[in-house]
């Protein structure tokens, strides 16, 4: 007779990790361990896989299933559907043995006593013995039944749980992964429900699910029960938190995105089960978690990951479910399991997908999953009963998917869904299959016509685009190796925060140029002075546009937060390496294109050499806008702990102007020399070269802007096609100015780099810079590997010459 065993979770608090024998990472593993110990029932977890084995031996059920499955071809979807349906019928028609029912009732009663309730809702959770393996996640293969009330419904739910081992997708998945159907058993865990139906819930990963970047926690959440997020019914809110400075006590939320949260899953009215309701607009327009709750979840995620990494003896990224109780306001961790896609990735190269063919505007856009591109014939499919019509290589376009769709998902070359976020079912399975996927596209099933050729591109940032036709694309493979680094630092030019995690995997020495303009233009879209003066603007339609974009947030806070998060995401990607952030360098005509911009910008004949750069910052026409920029950098450095950020001043015409700007930055909280703060300047004007010794007494370093320096040294407009043939950074006059700047930096003992395009385009110019002894060369990511090799060869030749 097995010895009795009770797992009492009453003392386990939210966020704590409960273990049996110190080595169980999921319900399935827990029950495998308990079964091995001879345990047959557990308080709070009503039955183990032992009950499933007993059920298989009842009324010859095992033999009936074996006969039914013999010779099954899972690629024959009609036959798969017939066999799956019959297998489930056999399971449901076979009654539980009395001893199993009795064990469930006894444990359920004990659970009620422990939580102090006679009637309560429970979740009946499945966990198969093959779940969460390194090469087979079995994500969502078996059912979990929510809001189960009463003993009669409890037995029915347990029966349904066991029967879910024989769904079409589960049979197909086991076959594809090489598992014998009868080597996989299923355990059921019965847990009291967290009342997230009255609040919110979701999932989080301890890495970036797209790039595999390990230093962040990605949290997704929506109103109601978590199944709405997992199944892709609702496009969730998203937060990204940077782990290294979180552990130091900072508040590094580097990304937050408001999801549409179209629907929510709640308890059914006056019965067991659940129902789906539309979310009211006021809830859709606000985040489902407060900032302090996001921080709490991220801290718990780090603790869970640290724990299981220690047990595994290696870094172990985790996939975690969480919920907030709407009655008590408490947060709970529901489940933690290993992340099985990036956590097992040992590839030492990066694949870079790039569109090279002509294409028009996107047919529709959504959230990109991964960074790949695929094309094929669109198959718009809304009815799962018509899965057999789907052909190999087609692109699945549907409203959302659940595990029932998996037999055809593995046939698809790409997936597009109207709903869902980066952690929904469609996203998880597409990553496992290695195919491009765009979720949360809104109306893709209406705008994409069945049978047309389309291209699904996830290579253009976090927004995925679907284009008409088969657009040509290329795939480049970059080996990742840091074995040999040149003495000359190789840095990167990075403007788009969405790409930062991915490109940071390339061998590098930091970011030599992070442009604020990209973040302001693409993530904010509003002129800073329009936000300063909101709502007192001349055009009411622009007031309305701004109101719709900022929602209920303070307009200045909207700018500071958005800019700080964009900068913070880039700085986090490369932390602790230096990230040099150039303060805004829009020309007046470019600033005027932002919402509300025309009211605050002059009309200039030649904006290229007009009201730009440092001269804007202390001018009353933009001074308040510059203050917001400084506050954003201050927040990223002080609140997020990203002290690797170094601001850089562009187009500084005089030494006195530089002194004035640095004094103004100190007034706004960015004090040179305090908390490791260095302030650099662009060396892009002839005056910056001629008076380099004086400028470098004011600034901590120089970065040569070869584009502006070339046009001003040669006296030509680089935007004019009439003199474009004369624009050449290799011109002797330009090279002499570059040499003079490098020599001045050496005399001053200050760092000097270059962030123009020339070293990427002209290998001989990169060689010239190395010969002159420049400290760093900042390149576009796509040229980093090639130019690094050239720099290594140049340094090797120079060393040989010296010898």
User: Is 425 annotated as catalytic?
Assistant: yes
Q: What is the DSSP string of 385-453?
A: GGGGG--TTPEEEES---GGGHHHHTT-SEEEESS--TTSHHHHHHHHHT--EEE--SSHHHHSPTT-E
Distance CA 101, CA 185 (A): 18
| CB-count burial class (<10 Å; 0-12, 13-18, 19+) for 629 | buried
Indicate the Cα dihedral angle 489, 493, 496, 499, nearest 10°: -50
Distance CA 684, CA 602 (A): 23
How do beta strands 645-649 and 680-683 pair?
Answer: parallel
User: Is 683 annotated as catalytic?
Assistant: no
Quote the Cα angle for 573-577-582, to 5°.
Answer: 80
SS (H, E, C) 467-527: EECCCCEEEEEEECCCCCCCCCEEEEEECCHHHHHHHCCCCCCCEEEEEHHHHHHHHHCEC
Strands (E), 227-324: 237-242, 253-257, 263-267, 274-278, 318-324
In terms of Cα–Cα distance, which of 331, 419, 325, 350 is closest to 212?
350
Residue in 425, 478, 499, 527 annotated catalytic: 425
Q: Which two structure tokens, joined as six digits, stand for 255?
A: 């990304």
Distance CA 453, CA 467 (A): 9
Q: Looking at 164-201, list the stretches that DSSP marks H as alpha helix, in order from N- to C-terminal side.
A: 168-177
In terms of Cα–Cα distance, which of 27, 337, 51, 45 is closest to 191?
45
Distance CA 723, CA 721 (A): 6
SS (H, E, C) 529-591: HHHHHCCCCCCHHHHHHHHHHHCCCCHHHHHHHHHHHHHHHHHHHHCCCCEEEECCCCCHHHH
List the catalytic residues: 425, 755
């Amino acid at each position: 007779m097995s010895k009795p065993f009770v797992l009492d979770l009453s003392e386990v608090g939210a966020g704590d990790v409960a273990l049996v024998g110190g080595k169980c990472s999921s319900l399935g593993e827990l029950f495998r361990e308990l079964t091995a110990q001879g345990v047959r029932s557990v308080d709070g977890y009503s039955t183990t896989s032992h009950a499933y084995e007993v059920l298989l031996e009842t009324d010859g059920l095992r033999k009936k299933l074996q006969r039914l499955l013999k010779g099954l071809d899972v690629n024959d979807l009609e036959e798969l559907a017939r066999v799956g349906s019959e297998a489930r019928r056999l399971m449901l028609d076979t009654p539980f043995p009395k001893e199993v029912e009795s064990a469930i009732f006894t444990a359920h009663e004990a659970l009620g006593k422990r939580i102090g309730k006679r009637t309560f809702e429970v979740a009946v959770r499945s966990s198969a013995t093959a779940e969460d393996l390194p090469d087979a996640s079995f994500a969502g293969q078996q059912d979990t039944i929510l809001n189960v009330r009463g003993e009669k419904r409890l037995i029915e739910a347990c029966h349904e749980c066991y029967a879910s081992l024989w769904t079409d997708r589960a049979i197909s998945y086991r076959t594809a992964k090489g598992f014998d159907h009868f080597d996989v058993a299923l355990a059921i865990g019965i847990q009291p429900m967290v009342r997230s139906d009255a609040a919110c819930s979701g999932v989080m990963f301890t890495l970036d699910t797209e790039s595999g970047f390990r230093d962040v926690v990605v949290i997704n959440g929506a109103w109601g029960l978590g199944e709405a997020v997992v199944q892709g019914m609702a496009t969730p809110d998203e937060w990204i938190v940077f782990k290294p400075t979180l552990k130091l006590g900072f508040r590094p939320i580097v990304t937050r995105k408001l999801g549409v949260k179209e629907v929510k899953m709640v308890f059914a009215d006056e019965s067991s089960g659940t129902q789906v309701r539309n979310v009211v607009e006021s809830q859709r327009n606000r985040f489902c978690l407060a900032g302090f709750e996001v921080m709490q979840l991220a801290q718990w995620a780090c603790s869970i990951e640290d724990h299981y990494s220690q047990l595994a003896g290696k870094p172990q990224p985790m996939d975690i479910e969480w919920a907030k109780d709407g009655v008590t306001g408490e947060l709970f961790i529901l489940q933690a399991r290993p992340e099985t896609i990036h956590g097992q990735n040992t590839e030492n190269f990066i694949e870079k997908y790039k569109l090279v063919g002509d294409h028009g505007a996107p047919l529709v856009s959504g959230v990109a999953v991964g960074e790949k591109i695929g094309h094929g014939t669109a198959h718009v499919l809304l009815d799962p009963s018509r899965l057999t019509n789907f052909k190999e290589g087609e692109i699945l376009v549907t409203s959302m998917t659940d595990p029932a769709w998996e037999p055809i998902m593995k046939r698809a070359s790409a997936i597009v869904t109207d709903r869902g976020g980066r952690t929904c079912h469609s996203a998880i399975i597409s990553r496992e299959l290695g195919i491009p996927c765009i979720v949360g596209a809104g109306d893709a099933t209406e705008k994409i016509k069945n049978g047309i050729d389309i291209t699904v591109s996830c290579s253009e940032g976090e927004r995925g685009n679907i284009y008409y036709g088969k657009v040509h694309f290329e795939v480049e493979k970059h080996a990742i190796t840091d074995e040999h680094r040149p003495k000359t630092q190789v840095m990167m030019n990075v403007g788009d925060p969405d790409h930062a995690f991915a490109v940071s995997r390339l061998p590098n020495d930091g970011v030599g140029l992070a442009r604020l303009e990209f973040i302001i233009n693409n993530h904010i879209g509003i002129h800073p002075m329009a936000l300063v003066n909101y709502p007192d603007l001349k055009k009411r339609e622009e007031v309305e546009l701004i109101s719709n974009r900022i929602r209920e947030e303070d307009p200045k806070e909207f700018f500071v937060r958005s800019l700080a998060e964009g900068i913070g995401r880039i700085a986090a990607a490369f932390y602790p390496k230096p990230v040099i952030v150039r303060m805004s360098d829009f020309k007046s005509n470019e600033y005027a294109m932002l919402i509300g911009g025309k009211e605050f910008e002059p009309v200039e004949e030649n904006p290229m050499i007009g009201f730009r750069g440092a001269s804007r910052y202390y001018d009353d026409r933009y001074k308040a806008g510059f203050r917001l920029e400084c506050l954003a950098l201050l927040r990223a450095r002080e609140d997020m702990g990203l002290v690797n950020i170094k601001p850089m001043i562009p187009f500084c015409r005089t030494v006195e102007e530089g002194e004035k700007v640095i004094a103004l930055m100190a007034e706004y909280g960015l004090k040179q020399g305090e908390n490791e703060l260095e302030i650099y300047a662009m060396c892009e004007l002839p005056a910056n070269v001629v008076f380099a010794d004086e400028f470098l007494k004011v600034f901590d370093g120089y970065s040569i802007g070869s584009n502006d320096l070339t046009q001003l040294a040669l006296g030509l407009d680089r935007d004019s096609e009439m003199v474009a043939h004369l624009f050449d950074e290799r011109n002797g006059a330009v090279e002499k100015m570059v040499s003079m700047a490098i020599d001045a930096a050496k005399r001053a003992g200050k760092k000097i780099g270059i962030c123009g395009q020339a070293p990427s385009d002209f290998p001989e110019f990169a060689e010239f810079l190395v010969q002159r002894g420049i400290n760093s060369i900042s390149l576009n990511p796509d040229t980093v590997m090639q130019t690094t090799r050239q720099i290594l060869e140049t340094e090797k030749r120079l060393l040989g010459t010296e010898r």
